[in-house]
Chains A and B, each alone.
Chain A
Amino acid sequence: AQSVTQLGSHVSVSEGALVLLRCNYSSSVPPYLFWYVQYPNQGLQLLLKYTTGATLVKGINGFEAEFKKSETSFHLTKPSAHMSDAAEYFCAVSEGYGNSGGSNYKLTFGKGTLLTVNP
């Protein structure tokens, strides 16, 4: 069964500082990995995703994440935080199951990390 662990429910950084949000997963098969962002009173929107190929993926708003299979990690980074980055961030893993070649799957989310950016 797949699971997602986000280390740190709350991360606080200064404006201009490095943002690092940690995500580890467990999966019995190579997963698809995602980071979503949720601004207050809104739904979730995709930041970036890893499916296959290059392990360093770039997303919107200057975020990027690196898939490290040996560490089962998919940490999210941004070199310089901006006030507008303040939001809740969710790591998610999608894993296929069953006999239908992965056409059945579940998307499992971590518990989220609230990012605050201090002026």
Chain B
Amino acid sequence: NAGVTQTPKFQVLKTGQSMTLQCAQDMNHEYMSWYRQDPGMGLRLIHYSVGAGITDQGEVPNGYNVSRSTTEDFPLRLLSAAPSQTSVYFCASSYRSYTEAFFGQGTRLTVV
């Protein structure tokens, strides 16, 4: 029962570096999304996908790119990391809008 798997769990980047946060789910869910969690801000939606080949922007998309080439994978790319992107990132997936969203364990990213 893998569910939603995020890698890495922790990452430290220097300003200007790029990286990809990986997210994979094995539940054949159509809907996948990325959130960032900051103290006092709750979870804010970065990007989401309603199926392979379809992505759209959420509330805070600037500085992030996504793609969805398969149903299982939904990577999040930081092209040029900035200190403002220091956060905890969560990937989630769900089968339908009214069904449970399953969350990964999160990636704690620090940009110095």
Contact status B100-A49, CB under 8 Å? yes
Interface size of A by CB at 8 A reads 29
Listed stretches A66-74, A76-84, A96-104; interface member: A96-104
- Do residues A107 and B101 form an inter-chain contact, with CB atoms below 8 A? yes
Contact A103-B100, Cβ < 8 Å, known A43-B105, A43-B106, A110-B42: no
Most buried by B among A6, A34, A109: A109
Query: Distance in Å from the Cβ of A117 to the closest Cβ of chain B?
Result: 21
Interface on chain A toward B: helix, strand, loop, or mixed SS? strand
Q: Please list the residues of chain A having a beta carbon within 8 angstroms of any beta carbon in chain B.
A: 6, 9, 32, 34, 36, 41-46, 49, 51, 90, 92, 94-96, 102-112
Given contact pairs A94-B97, A94-B98, a sample of 13 additional A-B residue pairs in the complex whose CB atoms are under 8 Å apart: A41-B106, A42-B105, A43-B4, A44-B101, A90-B42, A104-B50, A105-B31, A105-B50, A105-B97, A107-B45, A109-B35, A111-B41, A111-B42
A–B pairs, 15, beta carbons within 8 Å: A36-B101, A43-B90, A43-B103, A43-B106, A44-B90, A45-B103, A51-B98, A96-B97, A103-B50, A105-B50, A107-B94, A110-B42, A111-B40, A111-B41, A111-B42
